[in-house]
Amino acid sequence: MDDLIVAADTMSWWAFLCAVSALNVLAWVASAMVLRHSRDALHHEAWNSRRLQLLLSAGYVAGCAYRSALPVYDVQRLCLVDSWLSSVIVGRSVATIAELCFVTQWALLLRGAAQATDSTPGMVVSRIAVPLIAVAELCSWHAVLTMSNLGHVIEESIWGLCAALFVASLMFIWPRCGRDIRPLLAGCCLAGVAYVFFMFGVDVPMYWARWVADEAIGRQYLSIPQGLIDASARWVVSHRWDDWKTEVVWMSLYFSVAVWLSIGLIHLPLPRRASRA
């Protein structure tokens, strides 16, 4: 009976992830329809920008929906569905594509704002954001293949640093842009600050603690070739709440709030330079 109760908690959380992802897909479809109907009202540059944001958002929404339906706890090789589709090698591949789409959305937003306001810091950050996250993805792959959480420490630190650079860039852009766009920039800054605090206050310390604990017990890590075989061929089905509870907060936020931000970026107007009296 206790096992059933524990499994019920996990299944309720899984149902929540799936329900949110279904709503996210519907929201993306609605966004696509709205964008299509507003095409005639948008000038060419705005239309191209929003269409590209729509396509990139599709990659992120689809990737998060996949990972919600087939959750995977990478380093531990845990999953909820007994299928090769739940293997770490598949899940991490989907995550890599989705996350690169997501950061590209933010880079495009920042580039548009920087170009409109002649902000050199904004242009620099918009150019280095995607390469930075590409490095973070490599660190993530190293972590999940070798089963060493140190890679996740570096990965999440890069994500936090990238978000901090975005916020700093938007602060440089703030006084140069029109007053009509400033509330949106303020919202982006607040979201970025909250993300930075979460990453360095919760996520990075969590992975650091896991790595320290593994080092303390002398855990043997896998080589890259060993990890490729292991991540492709081994997955452990578990519905125990104790196995998943450390992943619940970040997964729930990642597959909901982050996706809403991705969809919201489709509709953000391009910033314009502030008029000078």
Domain ranges of the chain: 2-265
- CATH architecture for residues 2-265: Up-down Bundle (1.20)
Contact, 82 vs 68, CB < 8 A? no
What pLDDT is stored for residue 168 in this prediction? Answer: 94
pTM summary value: 0.91
Q: What is the arithmetic mean of pLDDT over 163-184? A: 86
Q: Percentage of the chain surpassing pLDDT 90?
A: 71
Q: Percentage of the chain surpassing pLDDT 70?
A: 95
Q: What is the arithmetic mean of pLDDT over 216-225? A: 94
Contact, 47 vs 39, CB < 8 A? yes
Q: What is the arithmetic mean of pLDDT over 240-259? A: 92
Alpha-carbon distance of 149 to 219, in angstroms, equals 11
Sign of CA dihedral 207, 205, 242, 257: negative
